[in-house]
């Protein structure tokens, strides 16, 4: 499968990923080819758990886990239809846009005030920034909109690091990432090692 994937990545007639997804660079293909040539060895986990306790406070000698909260739509507002930057908060942006033919994003997601918010629930409405530092030390700062959504089509060299900042502080992921479809892991309950939603500090 890895060898066939490489063939498709290099194909000019039937390339993967298909449009409107951003095609891999020649350097990214070379990295993948070297991995295939080495026999596809297993490496470290690509996506590590965010440091859930990075900004936890101590109460009575115990650490409060900010991810130990109930599922709730804090805004009490849900997206039902329409297009634009306020659409489908909490849903996997890239997967949906690739399937439906929407704008191509390199990174996109939704910031919430708590860790376990249902999909289509409006996220945080406030001054929150998502700061991405790529493998070449380039920094991209994205501002969450009125429903907490953020997105960018700017090329980002993987692996990259992400943090969310506000006037209340910073919440940073403890490891680096290779995928920018943030809501595909940051679901209501969390997937692929994520503990839940992207949560503002």
- Assess whether 115 and 173 both reside in one domain: yes
Looking only at the bridges linking them, the beta strands covering 107-112 and 198-199 are parallel
What is the pairing mode between strands 139-143 and 129-133?
antiparallel
What residue numbers bound the domain in which 33 lies?
A: 2-37
Q: Which two tokens stand for residue 105?
A: 């994003």
Regarding whether 52 and 24 lie in a shared domain, the answer is no
If asked whether residues 130 and 113 sit together in one domain, one would say: yes
Q: What is the pLDDT of residue 142?
A: 96
Looking at the structure, do residues 33 and 113 belong to the same domain, yes or no? no
Let me know whether 33 and 50 are in one domain.
no
Averaged pLDDT score across all residues of the chain = 85
Domain count for the chain, please give it. Answer: 2
Amino acid 16: pLDDT: 84
Angstrom CA distances, 96 to 28, 89, 139, 143, stand at 24, 12, 26, 21
- Per-position DSSP letters for 28-43, written without gaps between them: HHHHHHHHHHTT----
Residue 52 clears pLDDT 50, i.e. is over it: no
pLDDT score of 62: 54
- The answer to whether residues 80 and 148 belong to one domain is yes
In this structure, the number of other CB atoms found within 10 A of the CB of residue 127 comes to: 12
Closest-CA residue to 111 (of 142, 69, 139): 142
Q: What is the model's pTM?
A: 0.72
Query: Is the domain of 190 the same as that of 98?
Result: yes
17 and 107 together in one domain: no
Are 52 and 96 members of one domain? yes
Does the pLDDT of residue 8 top 70, yes or no? yes
Residues 59 and 31 in one domain: no
| Residue range 57-74, pLDDT digits in tens | 444 545 677 888 999 999
């Amino acid at each position: 499968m890895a060898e066939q994937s490489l063939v498709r990545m290099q194909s000019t007639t039937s390339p993967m990923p298909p449009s409107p997804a951003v095609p891999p660079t020649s350097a990214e293909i070379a990295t993948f080819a070297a991995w295939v040539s080495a026999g596809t060895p297993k490496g470290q986990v690509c996506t590590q758990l965010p440091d859930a306790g990075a900004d936890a406070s101590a109460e009575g000698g115990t650490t409060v886990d900010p991810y130990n909260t109930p599922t709730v739509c804090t805004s009490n507002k849900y997206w039902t239809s329409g297009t634009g930057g306020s659409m489908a908060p909490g849903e996997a942006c890239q997967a949906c846009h690739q399937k439906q033919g929407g704008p191509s994003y390199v990174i996109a997601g939704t910031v919430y005030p708590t860790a376990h918010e249902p999909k289509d629930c409006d996220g945080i409405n406030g001054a929150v920034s998502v700061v991405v530092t790529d493998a070449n030390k380039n920094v991209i700062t994205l501002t969450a909109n009125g429903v907490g959504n953020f997105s960018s089509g700017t090329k980002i060299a993987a692996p990259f690091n992400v943090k969310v900042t506000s006037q209340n502080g910073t919440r940073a992921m403890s490891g680096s990432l290779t995928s920018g479809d943030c809501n595909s892991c940051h679901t209501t309950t969390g997937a692929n090692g994520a503990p839940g939603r992207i949560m503002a500090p």
